[in-house]
């Protein structure tokens, strides 16, 4: 990834030109290659999107104090608290101390003695998966810490 140093003549540069995208994140300008959206919707993609949707719903259910703690926890990782939380929910590694901050819904549960899991979260079929790809196929159930 390339970074950009702007001059007084050009104070902001964002958008796409061909296959190059100029972006700004947390005050840092950078350049990346354009990644087009893949419109296919396989069962695995649909399941992963469901996990992502559940993670966003869980973040929205957190208190402001809980969100601040996630932001503090992410400060040394060069990411936002939101990104860290979504990452942890997507991988099923939400810390027990934070799991009870989430608002339970029909798609999730939270308890001090359990890791936060969502019914749409997925587990690997095998370590390497079928055909050498990490495939996922069935819901994770409650797992003790």
pLDDT of the residue at 81 = 92
pLDDT of the residue at 36 = 85
pLDDT of the residue at 83 = 92
Count CA within 13 A, CB hemisphere, residue 78.
3
Q: What is the pTM of this model?
A: 0.51
- In sequence order, the β-bridge partners of residue 123 are 138
Q: Where are the domains of the chain?
A: 2-33, 43-139
Encoding tokens for residue 78?
Answer: 């060069």
- In sequence order, the β-bridge partners of residue 15 are 22
- The number of residues making up the chain comes to 145
Question: Mean pLDDT in each 10-residue stretch from start to end of the chain (145 residues)?
Answer: 68 79 80 84 88 92 93 88 91 64 44 41 40 40 47
> What sign for the dihedral angle of Cα 71, 76, 80, 85?
negative
28-33, strands of its sheet edge to edge: 2-3, 28-33, 20-25, 15-17
pLDDT of the residue at 96 = 54
pLDDT of the residue at 102 = 52
Alpha carbons 81 and 86: distance in angstroms, whole number: 9
């Amino acid at each position: 990834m390339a970074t950009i140093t702007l001059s007084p003549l050009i104070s902001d540069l964002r958008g796409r030109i061909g296959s190059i995208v100029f972006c700004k994140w947390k005050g840092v300008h950078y350049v990346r290659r354009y990644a087009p959206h893949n419109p296919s919707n396989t069962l695995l993609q649909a399941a992963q999107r469901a996990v992502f949707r559940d993670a966003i719903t869980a973040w929205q259910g957190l208190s402001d104090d809980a969100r601040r703690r996630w932001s503090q926890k992410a400060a040394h990782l060069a990411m936002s608290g939101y990104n860290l939380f979504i990452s942890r929910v997507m991988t099923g590694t939400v810390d027990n101390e934070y799991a009870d901050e989430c608002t339970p819904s029909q798609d999730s549960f939270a308890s001090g003695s359990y890791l936060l899991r969502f019914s749409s979260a997925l587990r690997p079929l095998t370590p390497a998966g079928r055909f050498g790809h990490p495939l996922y196929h069935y819901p994770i159930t409650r797992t003790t810490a």
